[in-house]
Amino acid sequence: MSENRTERLQEAIQLLEAGMKADAIKVLKELVKENPDRIEAWYNLGYALTLAEKFEEAIKAYDEALAIDNFIFEIWFNKGNALYAISDYENARDCYEEALEINPDDSEAWNNIGNCHSRLADGRAAIEAYTRAVALNPEYAEGFYNKANAHFIEEEDEKAITYGEHAIRLDPSLSKRVGQWINVAKNRITSKRDDEEHKRRQQSQND
């Protein structure tokens, strides 16, 4: 890339950092038009379009970047984010899986795969992905919250409470979100114990 084109790319990045998304997109669109083989311009265009919530356009820009080099973690990861934003959870999951082929130790990608599985109503797969995420990053409060919530949906209430409370210890701001369901989980545990005790009493009387 020529010195002038490098300067223009830096200009676009600075515009993004300043929150001037529309101006950054304009510069980047000019760059990719003039230099369609420049992966940095396509990638940053995709990123800028994502920030502007123009997700369909962003996906197309990421595809152009991947057509140049499909072994870059950030491109697959960010394309997954754009697809997730438009509720295309299956293709978003596939993108995160491609990203993890490149870097299998990225906890956020595992967390995002868990989110996709959760949206696709595959609770067991979601829990497995969240478990990988928090194993890679034991300080990942959001990952622990998501794991707790997935256990709650599966009615595995003891685990939901344990991981939910751990998420709050890591990030107290999560207490409101955990509070939306933790009492339900506790009540379900109590109800199950009461039912089991009632059955035992009935069985004892029958014997």
- CA-closest candidate to residue 12, choices 4, 160, 124, 154: 4
Separation between Cα atoms, residue 49 and residue 62, nearest integer Å? 10
**Across 176-193, average pLDDT:** 94
Separation between Cα atoms, residue 27 and residue 41, nearest integer Å? 9
pTM for the model stands at: 0.91
Look at residue 137 and give its three-state secondary structure: coil
- CA-closest candidate to residue 94, choices 110, 119, 120, 113: 113
- CA-closest candidate to residue 140, choices 151, 132, 128: 132
Q: What is the mean pLDDT of the chain?
A: 95
Q: Which helix (H) or strand (E) holds 72?
A: none
**pLDDT band at residue 180 under the 50/70/90 scheme:** very high
**pLDDT band at residue 170 under the 50/70/90 scheme:** very high
pLDDT at 78: 98
For 72-108, write each residue's pLDDT tens digit.
Answer: 999 999 999 999 999 999 999 999 999 999 999 999 9
For 122-144, write each residue's pLDDT tens digit.
Answer: 999 999 999 999 999 999 999 99
CATH number of 11-104: 1.25.40.10
Question: Cβ contacts of residue 100 below 8 Å, gap of 6+?
Answer: 106, 109, 110, 113
Q: Terminus-to-terminus CA distance in the chain, angstroms?
A: 86
For the chain, give the longest Cα–Cα distance: 90
For 156-168, write each residue's pLDDT tens digit.
Answer: 999 999 999 999 9
